[in-house]
Amino acid sequence: MMIFEQKLREKKLKVTPQRIAILQEIKKGGHIGIEEIYENIKTRYPSISLATVYKNITSLYEANLLREIKIPQHKQKYELVCEHHIHVVCQKCGKLEDVFLDSKNIVNLCREATHYELINANVMLIGICSHCK
């Protein structure tokens, strides 16, 4: 909890129990949608609204504390910003996993092919998980 308070202060965001609860739910869930966050914290904060959760997610995202994950044919999910990684998602059930691989080669190949100055990489591989096969 202290780490979240510190990160909020560093980003000049007000430290509120609701923001801490949202960050804790995202940490616990790994990849989690807004509605799921809302359902999980409304028991602790019955007066919180879905709109408040949306507003706080937007603020945390804009402060670069959260990363949005857009999954084809599913609602977006959020995760805490951490070291770069690749997402692997099941096309059938939507299960989402992190794979921590060195993606520098992919970035370098793309930089050479396009001559872009690349700022960020967001790699998602889509397949069918072992459970759905």
| DSSP secondary structure, 76-124, as one string | -EEEE--S--EEEEETTT--EEEE----HHHHHHHHHHH--------EE
Binding site residues for Fe cation, as ranges? 84
Q: Which residues pair with 88 in a beta bridge?
A: 97, 125
Q: Name the β-bridge partners of 2.
A: none
**CA-to-CA distance for 129 and 94, rounded, in angstroms?**
9
Q: Which residues are annotated as a binding site for Zn(2+)?
A: 90, 93, 129, 132
Residues within the annotated binding site? Answer: 84, 90, 93, 129, 132
